[in-house]
Amino acid sequence: MTAAVEQRARGYIVTDGDDHLAVPVLLRYDPDAAAGAECPVVLHFPGGGYASPDRRVPRALLEAGLRTTRTEGAVRVWPCGRVQTVVEFHAPGEEPLVIQFDSVVLIRFLRRTHAEGPAGEPAVAAAAHRPGP
């Protein structure tokens, strides 16, 4: 069993105008919830509001989108300058949802998703506990 990784972040909803609405976002990665499939990163918006419901982004897409524009299904991720990353969601019958993050927050979160071993142990410690060949 692997511990879920959560991190609070601040996202900015990008609109047609110059306004950017700051919203709290809880980034969550729980490999045990995927039941063998690639586990997505869940973007949860506490308090609901403008960005409800939760949105899901494949972790590999989020990682690749930090460096270059990537699209998978209805989700697009791309770097915005040197320090920000944009995640764009398209859903049938809804306006596109465009959220801008500081890249360093996403990088830190993604590193933690790779660093966690069983029961929240760091991956290095978890590897030390595994029996050899």
Which tens digits make up the pLDDT trace of 53-64?
A: 889 999 999 999
Considering the entire predicted model, what is its pTM? 0.80
Q: Measuring CA to CA, which residue among 100, 104, 76 is closest to residue 19?
A: 100
Q: Where are the domains of the chain?
A: 5-129
pLDDT interval class at 126 (50, 70, 90):
very low
Q: What is the pLDDT of residues 57-91, one digit of tens each?
A: 999 999 999 999 999 999 999 999 999 999 999 98
- Helix (H) / strand (E) element for 26: namely strand 20-29
Determine whether domain 5-129 maps to CATH 2.30.31.20: yes
Q: Is the bond preceding 133 in cis, omega lying within 30 degrees of 0?
A: no
pLDDT at 38: 76
